[in-house]
Chain A
Amino acid sequence: MTIQILRSQINDYQTYTLADEEMTLLKALIKIKATQDATLTFTAGCRASVCGTCAVRVNGREVLSCAHKVRDGDMIEPLNYHPVLRDLKVDKQPAQKTLLNATAWLHRYQEAVLTHKDERFTERQTDCILCDACYSACPVFAVNPDFLGPFALTRAYRYSADKQESEVKSIVERVQHNGVWECTLCSGCTLVCPKGIDPKMDITMLRSLVVQHGYEDRTFAQMGFGTPDFGSEFGFDSNGEF
């Protein structure tokens, strides 16, 4: 089989030929590097879908290299909206800065009674491996690089829902700017998450939390043109930020 990989140096696809056996893309990349082309650059760690290092795009869709079975004709590219460092290796620092901007951590601990049900409530969200696949799939970054983005908002939501968090308000304040209202609820993130996380749903949950805290509901404001004009009689601010 042959696959094509976008090489940064030539800014073009390079074709590689592989034996016709079933293998993961990561295994294929390692084989290419070891036997055909030592300059091919990519990142990997655990090969078991848990270290979050190896996400790329295959035929336009984000996958973990270690969890994708390579197929004849696959087109491999680096993640979107990340500065490409070399070939498939991207700079994750700008994207991970969103965690800092969202203050996605436990602000102030308070002791609480927790049950199995509480654990299950945000179990999925805490499965996140920070692979950045969702970030790459999110169309908002094409127009707004300051958007907090799916994984940071999922993480912020996970802490806001923790009964041990006594300062939910601090999180609520942070996620409103370039945050929950900028999301178009397109589900791009949810569709590609290798861990089955649903950032779109988490963002929806954060929205209601924001409203519960007495802030304005900007659901309709952000929808931009193309949606019916609810007009000022509904009391929405139609000069959304999107």
Chain B
Amino acid sequence: MTDVLIIGSGGAGLSAALAVKEQGASVIIASKSTPTTAQTSMAQGGMNAVLGNVEEDHISMHIADTIKSAHGICDENMVRKMCADGPLAIAWLERLGVPFSRLDNGKSGTGSIAQRKLGGASAKRACYAQDYTGLKILHTLYDNCLKEGIEFLDDHFLLNLVTEDGTIKGATFLDIRSGEVVQIDAKSVVIATGGFGALYHGYTTNAFGTTGDGIAAVLRAGGSVSDMEFVQFHPTGLKHSAILVSEAARGEGGYLVNSDGERFVDELSPRDVVARAIFAQLEQEKEVFLDVRHLGKEKLMELLPQEVALCRLHEQIDPLEALIPIKPVAHYTMGGIDVDDALEVNGIKGCFAVGECASAKIHGANRLGGNSLLEIVAFGRFAGSNATKHAMFARTTPANDTQLLKDKDYIAHIFTQEHSVNFYPIRQRLGVLLYHKVGIVRQNAKLQEALSEVIAMQVAHARMGIVDHAKAHNQNLVEFLEFSNALLLTPTLISAAFSRDESRGAHFKIEFASEDNERFKKHIVLKWKP
């Protein structure tokens, strides 16, 4: 039996695995794809850590910025821990070989790491590796996992957690390669499966497959979720592909204009304000564009080379000469698996959750840019080391096969299930529904409509099945399971949004446009009743 089973190979999973290994325990990383395909590869802007390399900065300032952005609902101890860990996390990455961008200051070690200012920060604090920060961190972590001989199980899709008397015993997976359901026994488990932004299918910067599978598994195992209503929208996603156009575009002087050629918002306002202003235009049937033509070719190619290429490819336009059609899109999910201050899942001993899948109470109502890369590294290591400690004293008797048999039956059942309703268009419809009714601007009546529609989808789910009946490499089955998880999670998102009769951070409700500290300065925690 392995000491620690890690589910997910993004930045959080790999950091946790390396921490486990450092402490001499055994570890396996299982993920539904291959190691470096995780969404962490998409992060561009940077990772926050107080180094003060470019200008004066203090951990207390980082803490204050994070709390401000969270709009009061965060656990200040957790925030303090994460911010204080920032410089240590960077020093650790530096020793692993992450190729950070550098300053010319003649200093050695982390002293030469370049830092830039991201929105909401009071200093230049984000360490970066050109505009490939996540990619380069992820790949360097992967190189180090290979160096340490860490075992990877690719193509393993998490189905359920295996628990006994409220303690974790392992997890069951669909081995996508063989089509078999397998159980992996472990003394501790770390869930690092990423967020649920892909519920907003077609309206999110997130990768396909960011469907909150780990969060759904925790709900099924009796754990809880919190802060589900807080979804951060990025103001500028490309209109057709929803691919992110970096904030730098506005930071450097890009304009936002509507189809009448009018500017309608101060482009430098906070993300949620700009996103709402754009959404209001779209609701009035106007189109919105980003205009960067006046910045000139040289500056554009220097600042936004990735974006220029992506516009040409996905929007069929050249931003040097034409307006870029955009829409605000779901970008980051603040909520997720409810964990305690050791990142242990509330209600399941020995099971930890970290990264975007977890609600560690640091982002609260809105995440500060650059804090999630910090979270996945700093807390990834913290989770790994706590999981190791738990493994030292855990009982080694493996679980019985009740869950395994149940899951085998379930998968077998899907193959026989009616499939008169194609779930792919419904997945798309769910995206549209969430975007318009559970998105940037909310209203109780609309939330209620959304919930009824989702319930109707859940009812139709019994007729959705799969068309592809191959046993091995059945991607149709995988996508069906992902969509099923999405349908399980959506009601928690809607209910939490419905309960919160106020506006706070990323959650904006028309009829309650201000913060109501008396009633709502708290987390909404939900459980699933089957």
Question: Do A and B truly interact?
Answer: yes
Q: Are B106 and A113 in contact (CB under 8 A)?
A: yes
**Contacts A51-B42, A92-B34, A126-B139: A33 and B112 contacting too (C-beta < 8 A)?**
no
Task: List which A15-31 residues lie within 8 A (CB) of chain B.
Answer: 22, 24
Nearest CB in chain B: distance from A43 CB, A: 7
A239 at the interface (CB under 8 A from B): no
Is B528 in contact with chain A by the CB < 8 A criterion?
Answer: no
| B103 interface hit (Cβ, 8 Å) | yes
Determine which residue in B94, B103, B112, B154 has the highest number of CB atoms from chain A within 10 A of its CB, and name it: B112
Q: Annotate A92-103 by CB proximity to B: 1 below 8 A, 0 otherwise.
A: 110010011001
**CA A42 – CA B104 in complex, angstroms?**
45
Q: Is A1 an interface residue (CB 8 A)?
A: no
Decide if A175 is an interface residue (CB 8 Å cutoff): no
Give the shortest distance, in Å, between B142 (CB) and chain A (any CB): 8
B101 interfacial by beta-carbon distance below 8 Å: yes
Whole-angstrom distance from the CB of A143 to the nearest CB of chain B? Answer: 26
Choice from A24, A45, A115, A155 contacting B37 with Cβ under 8 Å: A45
Known: A50-B42, A52-B37. A116 touches B207 (CB 8 A): no
Complex interface: stretch among B48-56, B163-171, B308-316: B308-316
A133 on the B face (CB < 8 A): no
**B136 A51 Cβ-Cβ under 8 A:** no
Q: Which of B42, B101, B474 contacts A46 (CB 8 A)?
A: B42
- Whether the pair A112, B241 counts as a contact (CB closer than 8 A) is no
Q: Number of B interface residues, CB 8 Å?
A: 61
Contact across chains for B41 and A116 when beta carbons are under 8 A apart: no
Cross-interface CB contact of B424 among A24, A33, A123, cutoff 8 Å:
A33
The number of chain A residues with a CB under 8 A from chain B is 58
Q: Once the chains are docked, how many angstroms separate the CA of A24 from the CA of B314?
A: 7
Q: List 18 A-B contacts (CB under 8 A).
A: A24-B313, A34-B422, A38-B424, A41-B473, A45-B41, A45-B208, A46-B37, A49-B306, A50-B132, A52-B36, A53-B33, A86-B473, A96-B34, A109-B97, A115-B106, A117-B104, A126-B132, A155-B143
B→A interface (CB under 8 Å): 33-34, 36-39, 41-42, 94-97, 99-104, 106-109, 112, 114, 129-130, 132, 135-136, 139, 143-144, 146-147, 154, 177, 207-209, 241, 243-244, 306, 309-310, 313-314, 316, 422, 424-425, 428, 466-468, 470, 472-476
7 smallest A-B Cβ distances: which pairs? A34-B424, A106-B97, A86-B473, A38-B467, A105-B143, A39-B468, A105-B147
